[in-house]
Amino acid sequence: MLNVAFVCLGNICRSPMAELIFRQLAEERGLSLSFNIDSFATSEYEVGSGIYPPAKRTLENHGIRGTHIAKQISLRDVINNDYIIVMDSENLLSLLRLTGGKFGEKIFKLRSFTSRPHDVADPWYSRNFEKAYEDIYEGCECFMQYLLKEHKEAFDYDKRH
Ligand code: 4NP
């Protein structure tokens, strides 16, 4: 079982989109039981809120459904997860502040797995939810490809049992 946490500033747009997209990619590969997938905010701004309606609508336009309630990440969550996947450089700095610079080896920017490793622009400000979806989808797909190689034996085992 791999514990994967997606992280953004508010946990109502980008990271819940990534959580639901990545969950679908795992399901498509018959790997639902191989993952524990969650998402978190670096801030407390939107704690307790559901997925922001324009983000939810964008997901639904692409056939992806699901719910999430925003929560702020704690040091315990960083310790408990194998991969912490952030959306932009600001999220990365916030996490390193939280950990006092520790656990950097398991914190990655989502698009660092792609051939165009730019930040995922925050649609809360850009209002471009479709662009965010496309950037996140590609990032999730490339992250999945990375994990399939990196943890091949574990996934092959899970599929046999
Ligand atoms: P997210 O977008 O980090 O992609 O969830 C934001 C949502 C809310 C706020 C900032 C960013 N906010 O300031 O409330």
Task: Please identify, by atom number, the ligand 1 atom nearest to the C-alpha of residue 9.
Answer: 3
Quick one: DSSP state of residue 120? -
- What is the value of pTM for the model shown? 0.98
- Burial code (b: 16+ CB inside 10 Å, e: under 16) for 53-89 equals ebbbebbeeeebeeebebbbbeeebbeebebbbbbbe
pLDDT value, residue 52: 98
Task: Please identify, by atom number, the ligand 1 atom nearest to the C-alpha of residue 12.
Answer: 5
The CATH number covering residue 76 comes to 3.40.50.2300
The pLDDT-based confidence of 161 (bands split at 50, 70, 90) is: confident
Q: What is the pLDDT of residues 113-128, one digit of tens each?
A: 999 999 999 999 999 9
Are 99 and 92 in contact by the 8 Å Cβ rule? The answer is: no
**Locate tokens 């997938």: which residue?**
37
Q: Is the dihedral of CA 125, 64, 159, 145 positive or negative?
A: negative
- Distance from the CA of 52 to the center of ligand 1, in angstroms? 9
Q: What is the pLDDT of residues 63-90, one digit of tens each?
A: 999 999 999 999 999 999 999 999 999 9
pLDDT value, residue 50: 98
pLDDT, mean over the chain = 97
Whether the CB of 8 sits within 6 Å of ligand 1: yes
Mean pLDDT computed over 83-110: 98
Whether the CB of 12 sits within 6 Å of ligand 1: yes
Query: Which range of residues forms the domain containing residue 155?
Result: 2-160
Mean pLDDT computed over 24-35: 97
Whether the CB of 70 sits within 6 Å of ligand 1: no
Share of the chain above pLDDT 70, in %: 100
**The total number of structural domains that make up the chain:** 1
Whether the CB of 13 sits within 6 Å of ligand 1: yes
Q: Please tell me the residue having the least CA distance from ligand 1 atom 8.
A: 10
Catalytic site includes residue 38: no
Catalytic site includes residue 122: yes
The pLDDT-based confidence of 137 (bands split at 50, 70, 90) is: very high
Q: What is the pLDDT of residues 5-14, one digit of tens each?
A: 999 999 999 9
Task: Please identify, by atom number, the ligand 1 atom nearest to the C-alpha of residue 14.
Answer: 4
Quick one: DSSP state of residue 103? T
The three-state secondary structure class of 18 is: helix
Of the candidates 13, 88, 111, 122, the residue annotated as catalytic is 122
pLDDT value, residue 159: 85
pLDDT value, residue 43: 98
The pLDDT-based confidence of 17 (bands split at 50, 70, 90) is: very high
